[in-house]
Every structure is written in structure tokens, then in C-alpha cells.
A and B are shown apart, each in its own frame.
Chain A
Amino acid sequence: MTELTRRTAAELAEALASGETTSVELTQSHLDRIADVDAAVHAFLHVDAEGALAAARASDERRASGPPASTLDGVPIAVKDVLATRGLPTTCGSRILEGWVPPYDATVVARLRAAGLPILGKTNMDEFAMGSSTEHSAYGPTHNPWDLDRIPGGSGGGSAAAVAAFEAPLAMGTDTGGSIRQPAAVTGTVGAKPTYGGVSRYGLVALANSLDQAGPVTRTVLDAALLHEVVGGHDLMDSTSIDQPLPAVVAAARQGATGDLSGMRIGVVTELTGEGYQPGVQQRFDESVQLLVDAGAEVVEVSCPTFVHALATYYLILPAEASSNLARFDAMRYGLRVLPEGIEAPSAEDVMRASRDRGFGDEVKRRIILGTYALSSGYYDAYYGQAQKVRTLVSRDFAAAFERVDVLLSPTAPTTAFRLGEKLDDPVAMYLNDLATIPANLAGVPGISVPSGLADEDGLPTGVQVLAPAMADDRVYRVGAALETLLTRRWGGPLLARAPELAPALRGASA
């Protein structure tokens, strides 16, 4: 029997359906794995063994007495700490929310519970999802399971590391500028950002409303599609939620897994390759493109000239929206309240200033100040207004490209995982990690990152990103699954099988 934690979610769902295992058994296997390796990986900020096992028991009882609540009923999951979980701490990786227990569930979380997925715990992230390395978490960084001295990407490094280290078969992430896809690329896992509005944002603590999107973090494309189907679709609680049926993502993933891409037109984005991309990343990307050609796809190069301005646009729009959103942390109704020193009978405003200084980390302060600047009178037109116009141009580039091709392709991240600490105090170098992922957020289109191999120079994972028009999420799953099938065949097994074994921590042995 293959160890349960090594199997895909789809395989686990089958094992549950056939009665080979129980949800309690596989939830416990993952909790044991967390106990073994998470001291080294630090993917989790909070583990809820009791709650997960209770949900697992309920799932087993359900199966024993009738039909399961969903395909994934009983398959455990880890949830990024930016999604509100009733009764479970939700900190967003920030001191300002330390110990906060939401009185409600995010819609995504409510759907996971209704579908019977036991929630193992909450995963680490850059504070309020601001970052590309999880080093901006107030609770310490997550370590990349491929090399514990390196970053797991960000902001959702905890979710990506949890699935890469076999601590969870599935995880939820959120992607504002690449926070699902970039961690997937640097940890050798799969991450999908749905069409903006495809998955409810209700209960997702907002970073930038017009960019944020929750989505699946998994080890295979099919697993991502299965999870997408559970959490996606219209929600009355989110006014930006799309009131249309979800694209048939699971069917598309299964179709793609045949490895046949006849008739598919694929565009390689000129502006997202070449200069600035690590040689090993580029090499694996070029090989992936060739495999797609061999699979029957028609591949052409497509230019999206304004993509070179996407990064700058993003770093105006995001801080502007974030500085407004984070104004809610005022120390009055929830979260940290700090009384300023040396002030007798401080006012609410004094308390707010002191609390925000203590509660927010460096990167959050940087972005709040930047956003406040971009929105201040005199600069609004030059910065924020201009950025909104360039956003229009980025969308037009996508629209023009999708008249010629069905999907666009690029490397997901320009480099493999860098060392912890390497870019921590160099914001611009850190921001460059999101170069290729940001355009999709600006235009609201869906994307997926799938592993493309290991870079020759450092032996670390690289990723390929597939982008499609809004509401054509099925295409990214089809092409992603085809690429996964072709590459896995070539490697003789999944890429993660090549990751180093993590030494289990001593557990329960000493007195």
C-alpha cells in the first residue's frame, strides 16, 4: 500500500469510496506527518487535530449510512490563514490579529465544511499576503521542503509547502499578484488562480479587492480542478461573484490528461521570457513548449507590449487598495489594542497609531505609506489614475492575444527559490518575483502553474504558467493537465518524488 500521505486527493477519494481507508485514518496520517516534519517546514500557524478528526468521524459516518457530501468528502485540507474560519484562529500572518477567532466562516471555508473536508489547520503566509517569500510573516518564515534554507514562495508559502511536504493533500490559497502560482512554481506543486469573481471573496481578509482571488493549491492538476469545483461558483455574499455556472474544470483536467492537444492554439508571451529569467527556468520552459507542440498544439509567439508596465501598475494599485482596506485595523472592535507610552488618557486616535505601529510589520507599513502617497491629492492622477489606465491597456493586450490563441504560456516565476534573507530588505528585488504572474490579476483572467522540472544550475523546481480568457478556466486545466501528463511520463513519476526526504522530528519518545 502506498503511504496515504503520498497519494493524490483523487486517489484518496477513490480509496475512501472503495472502503480501503477511512477519513479518520487518513486525517490522522496527515496529522502525524505534520507532527513529524512541520517543526522544520513551518507550513502551519495553527493545527486543529481535534476539529479535523471530529470532521473525519462525521465523514466516515456519513459514508457508512448514505451518499458522501461530495467527491472529496473525508479528504483533509489545509487553509491559508487569510480565510476566516469560525472557531479557529485567523491571523493573516500579522501580530495585529494574533489570537483573533472569527465568529463566521468565509464562504470558501463553509463550502469545504459542507463538502466534508476536514480542516487540518491554518497555513503560514506573508503578513496580509504582502510578499513573495513568507518571510514577512510575523510568526517566522516557512521553509521550502526542497531545501530548508530557501523560501517556499509567497504569499501562500505555507499552503504550497504543506502540500509539497505531504502534510496535506490539498490546500487553499489566495492570489493577488501571484501568491498561489509563484509558491507552486518554487515548490514543485500545482496552483490555480481562478477567474476574478469565480470563487467567493466573502470572508477572505481583503488585501486588494479588485485583484484578490482564492484558489486551489495541490500536487496535481486534477486535484486542483476537484477542489475548484467544491469552492467555486456564485455567492450572494460577494457582490463581485460571477453569477454564471462554473466552467467544467474537472472534465477539462481529465481531457487534458490524455496528453492530446490537437487543435489548441498556444501563445508564448514575448515579454515574459528571455532577459531576467534564470537560464534553468528558461530551459525547462522551452522544453515544455516543445512537448506541447509534439502533443499537437499550434504554438506561436505573441507580444503583449504593456505587460512590461504591469509590475509598476500593480505596485500602485495594490498599495492604494491595501492602505484603504487595512484602515479597518483601528484597535477598536477586534485585534490588537496598544496603549501608547507616556500619554495620559490617550485618545482613540493615539491608541490606533500605537496599535498599528506595534501590530504591522515592515512590508505592511511600506505598502500602506506607498498607497497613502499614491492616493493623496496632487499625486492621485499621476500615480493611481495613471495605473488604472495602464490596467486597461494590459486587459486590451490580453484581449488581442486571445483573438489569436486559446491560451498564453510563460514561466511562472523568473527564478527558482532563493535563500531565506536574500531579498528581505530589498523590496524592489522582492517585487520582481511577481513579474510574470501580475498581468493575470490586473485583467482578472485565470491561470495555473504546473511544475516544469528542476533547473540544472541548482536542482530546484521551476514552473510553467498557463493563462486563459476570463471564464475559460477549463482551458488552463486542460493544457496544464496535458503538460503534467507529458512531463510526468518523461520523468518516470511525479517531480515531487525527487524532493529530499525530510527527517522526522523525535516525537513522543522523551519524557
Chain B
Amino acid sequence: MILRLLLSVCVGLTFVTASHAAIEDQVSEFMLDNGMQVVVIEDHRAPVVVHMVWYRAGAADETPGVSGVAHFLEHLLFKKTKNLDAGELSRTVAENGGTDNAFTSYDYTAYYQRVAADRLPIMMQMEADRMVNLDLSEDDILVERDVIIEERNQRTDTNPSALYREQANAALFQNHRYGVPVIGWRHEMSNLTLSDALAYYKQYYAPNNAVLIVAGDVVPDEVLSLAKETYGQIPPNPNLLERKRPSEPPHFAPRRIEYVDERVSQPYVVRSYLAPERNSGDQRPAAALALLADILGDGQASVLQRKLQFETQEALYASASYSGVSLDTTSFAVYMVPSADVSLKDAEAALDRTIAEFMEEGVDEAQLDRLKTQYRAAGIYAQDSVNGLANAYGRALTSGLTLQDIHEWPDIIQSITAEEILAAARDVFDLNSSVTGWIRK
């Protein structure tokens, strides 16, 4: 059995190395003359293609006073254009057995269709059309504004945790637009106008501000020639500005929020800290934070869960979260759902005590090795979903990262040391740039 085990470990390492190479081999990158970036991810296992256009513009690129306009415009892109009737794009997708949708975040707005691979040309034609040919009327605005307000009702106003997150972000970010909700503040949403939407459209929707991602059963050269025939015909926006947003000043005081809502059934405590994001060519601090979040909160053997759920049993659940893919400074959070007889005050103290213990005890090397194994395996599992890959590439490429950064990330994760993780923890756990929330009824 020992020999067998040894063998399988060796085979494993070979596989893992090979599969990293495989992901990169599946990816091609082109640049159209008008400045549009094109990325093709090949996967020939099924005759399916995901076609996505990502704009390097999201809610954090809005001007003050029109919060929600990036997302509003996303809805309006399904209306009439000079060449398409309202709803014609979605109808065409559906008639071809496909699905389509769009989503908006702080740093990007993305549109996608998932169709049989041979339907790609018509998708590219239609998506290129609505990049510049939108033909909106005042009526479109009125009905769709009601729709986004219902969306806000559904996502935020009926959900105490979502309402708390709005309050917390507004407190965490003192200057950056990450403090304003993507869906928008309700009072500004209800006043959004046609000209607000068109101003955003004209400023940001252009080939030199977009990334085309085509993933699935396609050949890169054919995608490129189709892209030239469609998106390649659109002139770039010469007035596109460098993407520069207001940045956070130094923070000097911890902020605290007590959010009370009778719809809360399970009280919890959460603390968010400002944290550095993944930067192009400089991803080590973010990689250390990604591992820190896993060490603290991923799985039953993680630090917070082991100590708080298993040892002291003060928590029903505890975890940590961090998302490094972000154009600007992001956040790192720890949270705890206390057991029935534990108060929020005691829960917060338990969370603080546990993190202090961790800083004292340091990183368990065996746990770090396990995590690195899981990251390697995640690279293998990720190949099973071309849709997931397309999304990950799109998010990264509109958040200030390059293909090279994406492809270097796995090796950077593998090379992070326990000392780097502790150093990142010391930097990020600064109460003066934090928001602590108690959510209760």
C-alpha cells in the first residue's frame, strides 16, 4: 500500500502541473484595431458556446447623484436598437435554444448568451449592434424604472442582511463609490432619466472599453475573424478617460453599526476591514489574504470554526470572507452567528479573542499545505465549467488584471509562506479602518 500511495502522489503532481499548462493552452488573446480585447477559451467537450461582452464600467464609475444608472442601463440594453426590436435579441436567443442575461457590479457590466456553438455569429452581430445603436424612448424608461425598483425591493428592502450591508459599505468607504449600492439608493433610482442612462452609455459603451470573451466549442481564428466583422466595425470612443476613481483617505476611527430589524431571526456579528485587492504584477498581498480567509473560515477544521463551533461552542457558525478581484481597495470580513445563549457582545469578544489567539499561534503548516492542495485541485475542477471560467476571466480582466496575472495566480498561491499570511493579517486587522455590525431584532 505504501508503494501504491507514493506512486499515486507522484502521478498526482504530474497531473496537477499538466492541468495548469492545459488551462493556459486553452486560452488565446487578441486585440482588435479599435482597442477591443478578445479572449477565447476553448473547450470542445460539448457543442456549446458562451459569448460575453464585459464593459470596463460599473456602478463605481457613475457620477454622484445618479446611483443605479449603470444597472438601469443594463436593463435598457434589452430594448429597441436601430436594428433590433425591443426584446428581439432575447427572443432570437430563445428561439435558438439559448439563454441570455446580463449583470452589473461595481467594476463591470456584462452581457452574455449561452447557445449552440454554431449560433455564435448572430450573437456577435446583435451584441455589437447594441453596443452603440440603442434607440430608447421615454416610455421604456418609465416601465423599466419600476422594474428596477421592484428588483431593489426584492434584493434589498425585504432582506435585513442586504440592508445591513448597504449601511456597512457606506460606513466602510468614506470616499470611494464602493460605499454606494450597485442597485442604487431608492430616492435616486426613482429620479433616473433617459438622459442619465444615455450619458453613461455614450461615455462607457465602446469597443475600446470592452472585453469580448468567447468560451466553448470554437476555434480562436474563426472567433477573431467574426469579431473583426462585427465588433471590429465599431469606431473607438476617443474621449474615453483613464479609469481613476476617488480613493480612500486614511481612516482614523473604528465605526460601529447596530442594525435592528424585526425580520431578523438569527442575530449575528460581522466585522469588515478595508483590504488591498489583487493588483496587476503585485498579487502577493492579495494571495496571502485569500489564504488567510480560508485558514480562518473555510471548512470545519478552519481556525474560527474549530475554536468557536467545536471547542468553546460559542458559535453556530463562524467564517471569513475576502474577494481580491476588485479594481480598487476591497474588504476582508469575519463573522459569527452566536449560539442561542451567547450575546452579540460576547460573540464579538469571542471573535476578537480567537483572532488574537491565531495571531499568537501562527499558521498551522499542515493546514496551509491542505489549502494549497485544494487550490491545485480547484484548477482541475474549474475546467469542468467553461461558463465558470469565462466568468472568472471576465471579472479579472475588467478589474485591472491581465491574462498573465490570471495565469500566474495559481503559482503565487502555492508560493505564499506562513509569514506572509501573518504579515497580511497584521496589516488588515486594523480597527481604525473597520466597521463592526450587530444585526438583531
A and B assemble together: no
